[in-house]
Amino acid sequence: MKALLVGVGQAGGKLTTALSEFDAEMGFGAVRDALAVNTAAADLEPLPLDTVLIGQSRVNGHGVGGDNELGAEVMDEDSIEVLDALAPRMTAEIEAVVVVAGLGGGTGSGGAPVLVRELSRVYDVPVYALGVLPGRDEGALYQVNAGRSLKTLVREADATILLDNDAWRSAGESVEGGYAAINESMAKRVGLLLAAGEATQGVGESVVDTSEVINTLRAGGMAAVGYASSPAAEDPGENVNTVTSAVRSAVMTGLSLPNATDADAGLVAVAGDPNRISRKGAEKARKWLQEETGSMQVRGGDFPLDSDRLAAVVLLAGVERSTRVEEFLERARQAVRDEPEAKPDPAMAFQNDEIDDLM
């Protein structure tokens, strides 16, 4: 899938950078161009991407301070500037736009849904969101922001691929180091998904192409991407268990949104040397995924790569009924319930005609 990436906010810019670098390093050519958008000038400066600073008249390049309502307002006011920057990049070969954002902060969670809406109005290609859910320890504001942002994204985007921070932060890892590892893991998953059918090396028996990815995501709502790999024997007959185990691992331990296995549609791509891919293993894995997800809409195919390993890339769409999503939404709802009520104005106690104003 030839895609244009737009990173919104600090986390969105960093993850977009990781995706672009992974695609370039692998030589896939699926990421055709990328842009980073933010209200904070300092967050844009270190990025090796073209950038757009928005909200200068409102926040003067200092960010929105976690206020995602302000982030939405700023994007709404300056969306023309962003669309102008994207226009020359939206060539005829672009098959989808992916808006990338952290859903807990201010600019990303507020601006991404607005930008998705505007892009959907202007362009006749799928507009997907790639959203990062905040961890449990990131504070009530982040939970509320993410809940409100996700509710809007799911309505505006053709599909929203989710990454759960809690699933990827290692114990004792620094925040900066943890986010770098998360970005690397997610870049591999989404990068391989975008590249399926674009830069295959060799001839597979049944190669996954862009239309199958788009048709799987047509289920809409929330989606998750899984990945796992293992060494493979040269004889495909010896790789039946290798293929099935990789697919199971991708779903059970390698999903970007863990435990999100109740899905409306699925896609499994087996990546590696076509001469090592077991047809029997691929079919068994596809049938297992049908049973695991409860969906009969499970597509499958090869992703030919020059490698002595076999890997599974799994896309699950329509996972909003999963326990992981419900756990997050309950955190967001609880954070809203716990928000302190606005302090009453003391002057309201004197709203009567018996006491005169001093001035």
159-164, strands of its sheet edge to edge: 50-53, 31-38, 3-8, 96-102, 127-133, 159-164, 222-231, 309-317, 265-272, 298-304
Looking at this protein, which amino acid is placed at residue 129?
A
Q: Which of 163, 153, 63, 166 shows the shortest CA–CA distance to 106?
A: 63
Q: Which residues contact 196 (CB under 8 A, 6 or more apart)?
A: 1, 208, 209, 210, 212, 213, 269, 303, 313
Helix (H, G, I), strand (E, B) or coil at 164: strand
- Are 99 and 128 in contact by the 8 Å Cβ rule? The answer is yes
> For residues 195 and 305, is the Cβ–Cβ distance under 8 A?
no
Nearest residue to 120 via CA among 157, 172, 168, 81: 157
Q: Which of 291, 192, 205 is nearest to 248 (CA)?
A: 291
| pLDDT score for 74 | 95
- The answer to whether residues 15 and 31 touch, using CB atoms and an 8 Å cutoff, is no
If you write DSSP's letter for every residue of 32-46 in order, what string do you get? EEEEEEESBHHHHTT
Q: Quick one: pLDDT at residue 203? A: 59
Q: HEC states along 112-153?
A: HHHHHHHHHHHCCCCEEEEEEECCHHHCHHHHHHHHHHHHHH
CATH 3.30.1330.20 fits 223-317, yes or no: yes
Where on the phi/psi map is residue 328: left (φ > 0), alpha (ψ -120 to 50), or beta? alpha
Q: What is the DSSP letter of 225?
A: E
Domain with CATH 3.30.1330.20 in the chain: 223-317
Region class of 27: left (phi > 0), else alpha (psi between -120 and 50), else beta: left
DSSP 17-32: HHHHHHHHHHT---EE
pLDDT of the residue at 357: 45
Instruction: Give the dihedral sign, CA 65/101/185/248.
Output: positive
Q: Where are the alpha helices (DSSP H) in 175-310?
A: 175-195, 210-217, 240-252, 279-293
Residues 36, 7: contact at Cβ < 8 Å?
Answer: yes
- Decide: 99 and 120 in contact? Cβ < 8 Å: no
**CA geometry: angle at 318 spanning 313 and 324, to 5°?**
85
Residue pLDDT tens, the chain, 359 long: 999 999 999 999 999 999 999 999 999 999 999 999 999 999 999 999 999 999 999 999 999 999 999 999 999 999 999 999 999 999 999 999 999 999 999 999 999 999 999 999 999 999 999 999 988 888 888 888 999 999 999 999 999 999 988 776 655 555 555 678 888 888 999 999 999 877 556 555 688 889 999 999 998 899 999 999 999 999 999 999 999 999 999 999 999 998 888 999 999 999 999 999 999 999 999 999 999 999 889 999 999 998 999 999 999 999 988 887 888 888 888 877 876 654 454 444 445 555 444 44
Q: Tell me the C-alpha distance between 30 and 310, whole Å.
A: 21
Q: How far apart are CA 221 and CA 219, in angstroms?
A: 7
Q: Which CATH number fits domain 3-195: 3.40.50.1440, 3.40.50.720, 3.20.20.80, 3.90.1150.10?
A: 3.40.50.1440
Domain with CATH 3.40.50.1440 in the chain: 3-195
Alpha carbons 47 and 111: distance in angstroms, whole number: 19
**Which run of H or E residues covers position 301?**
strand 298-304
Phi, psi of 225 (to 5 degrees): -125, 135
Tell me: the pLDDT tens digits for 105-161? 999 999 999 999 999 999 999 999 999 998 888 888 888 899 999 999 999 999 999
What is the amino acid identity at position 31? V
